[in-house]
Structure 1
Amino acid sequence: MLEKLLDLVIPRRCAACGARGEPCCARCGRVWGAVREVWRVPTAGVVRVFALARYSGVGRRLLIAYKERGRRDLAPSLGRALAEALVELPLGPARAEVAASAGAARVGPSGSVALPARGSASGGLAQLAAPSRSICLVPAPSRPSASRVRGGPHIERLANATARILATHGIEASVAPALELAGGARDAVGLNRAERLANLSGRLRFREAGRPPPGHPVVVLDDVVTTGATAAACARALAAAGVTVSAVLTLLSAG
């Protein structure tokens, strides 16, 4: 009731284009296209990384609004984009079989992989909504100082929104905050690959209290993959604790 009243007084606008109505309008929501595999040197042979769009234009505006400008109301729409992508990822035999029957992945130029388009007859939440499916989401950690400014860990908030959407479609989903970043880490913006690796060295730690439940495919969620240093560090930290990471999924890829 309060939300409806606020909408009358201060109508919600799309964070990308300013159109009235939803935090992310239908037109801007189309930025989340087919899931593509992203190749980066640090992740080669460590973990597969996938992204929904490039770090530019509408996608970049939506992420900055959510991450830096207090648009927490974007979490459900971003979470839905991630949920729809998750059911397409090749995380195990069951998903591989469905992908094969749905037309499988398409190999594009430069070795990129485009999985079936979301929302089409060959993909989306509706097709893979089965109670037997399960998944565990591990949010990439944020610096404590950044989390305080953003009103809490923004990736963990996205992971929770994603898990709720998966659950409504019969896919068992859990969120395991199994990683933490020590306070001495710098903001990664502007750092090159070597600097990012050094920045994470000894500062990315496994949290036993957040250990993923056994027997579930584990996917690390993040907002942007740039050099791949964070994705690789997350996968290695989890592997060192005996947790196998099936994939890393990000909203955007940069670089």
Structure 2
Amino acid sequence: MRTLLDLVLPASCAGCGRAGAGWCAKCDAALAGPPVRVWPRTDPGVPCWALAPYAGPVRRAVLAAKERGRRDLAEPLGAALAGGLAELRSARRPLVLVPAPSRVVAARRRGGDPVLRSARVATRWLPDSRVVSLLRMGPGVRDSVGLTPAERARNLGGRVTTAPGRVADWGIPPNAEVVVIDDVLTTGATARESVHALGLMGLPTRGVLVTCAA
């Protein structure tokens, strides 16, 4: 179906709108640099890194993947995550990517979780790595758009949990390097609750890597 649509309506770049490709080389350059350390207002207690600011073509690509069903963007966004992780990881340790949780209703509306799709693409580029979907968003969490940092913290407080089971049940080795992956870092509330939930499970987090930071 996608091939047929491309014949009728040529693909346009999610970053700049240029016809001919879903993600052009010029926009891809916005994700080509090394990860940059960022300090969100709500400290998750571990280092946070971003591939780019939440602006320009990267912002438009994240929104297209999240709100407009552009599943094709999982490939370039996942490859960019892999590049950032290759810069940050300890080469001798297995790498475990844990996608940040999303609300069930939001994931259903989007036809799946774009962060999970990108994380899976990233592991294809990285040796000795895997994705483990451990985090869950509990009931009662509102859409965070328009909330202040304090409201975001209250909205998420105690509502991020982990899937049932022990660390060993998920096949995570004791020396694994665990990184939380997300698309956008705003106040840091989701990152903090994610790191906290993993810690309660007995799984220390090495850091947080996001596609872009606001």
Cα distance between partner residues in 1 of 2:55 and 2:209: 17
Question: Which of these residues, 204, 221, 245, is aligned with residue 205 of structure 2?
Answer: 245
Query: 1:151 Cα deviation (Å)?
Result: 0.4
Question: 1:34 Cα deviation (Å)?
Answer: 2.6
Cα pair 1:177 1:210 within 8 Å, conserved = no
In the alignment, what sits opposite 2:13?
A: 14
Q: Is the 8 A contact 2:53 2:212 kept in 1?
A: yes
- Relative to structure 1, the CA distance from residue 180 to residue 87 in structure 2 (aligned partners, 3 Å threshold; closer, same or farther) is same
The root-mean-square deviation of aligned C-alpha atoms, in Å, is 1.9
Residues 190, 4 of structure 1: CA spacing in aligned structure 2 closer, same or farther, 3 A cutoff? closer
Q: Is the partner of 1:183 in helix, strand or coil?
A: coil
Which of 153, 159, 168 is residue 119 of structure 2 equivalent to? 159
TM-score normalized by structure 2? Answer: 0.90
Structure 1 CA distance, aligned partners of 2:5 and 2:148?
43
Partner of 2:161: 205
Normalized against structure 1, the TM-score is what?
Answer: 0.76
Unaligned runs of 5+ in 2: none
Separation of aligned partners in 2, 1:165 and 1:49: 21
Partner residue in 1 for 2:35? 35
Paired with 1:11 and 1:180, the residues of 2 have a C-alpha distance of 37
Q: Which residue of 2 aligns with 1:216?
A: 176
TM-superposed CA distance for 1:20, in Å, is 2.7
CA distances 1:199-246 after superposition (whole Å, capped 9, x unpaired): 112211111359451221010000111111111111111011100101
The aligned counterpart of 2:151 is 195
Residue of structure 1 in register with 2:74 after alignment: 75
**Cα offset, 1:153, TM superposition:** 1.8
Distance 1:201 1:225 in 2: 17
Q: Which residue type is aligned with residue 233 of structure 1?
A: E
Q: Confirm or deny that 1:84 pairs with 2:83.
A: yes
Match of 2:106 among 146, 166, 176: 146
Single out whichever of 219-228 and 203-212 deviates more from structure 2: 203-212
The answer to whether the 8 A contact 1:43-1:49 is kept is no
Write the letter of the residue equivalent to 1:37.
R
* Contact 2:14-2:57 within 8 A present in 1 as well: no
Highest RCO, 1 vs 2 (Cα 8 Å, sep ≥ 6): 2
- Count of aligned pairs: 209
Deviations 1:177-206, CA, capped at 9 Å, x for gaps:
111001310111121221111111221111
Question: What secondary structure does 1:34 align onto?
Answer: coil
Contact 2:166 2:201 in 1 (8 A): no
The 2-side partners of 1:209 and 1:160 are apart by 22
SS of residue in 2 equivalent to 1:145: helix
Equivalent-residue separation in structure 1 for 2:197 and 2:93 (angstroms): 25
The answer to whether the aligner puts 1:137 opposite 2:107 as a matched pair is no
Counterparts of 1:224 and 1:247 in 2: how far apart (Å)? 15
Identical columns (%): 45
What is aligned with 1:121? none
Q: CA deviation at 1:145?
A: 0.7
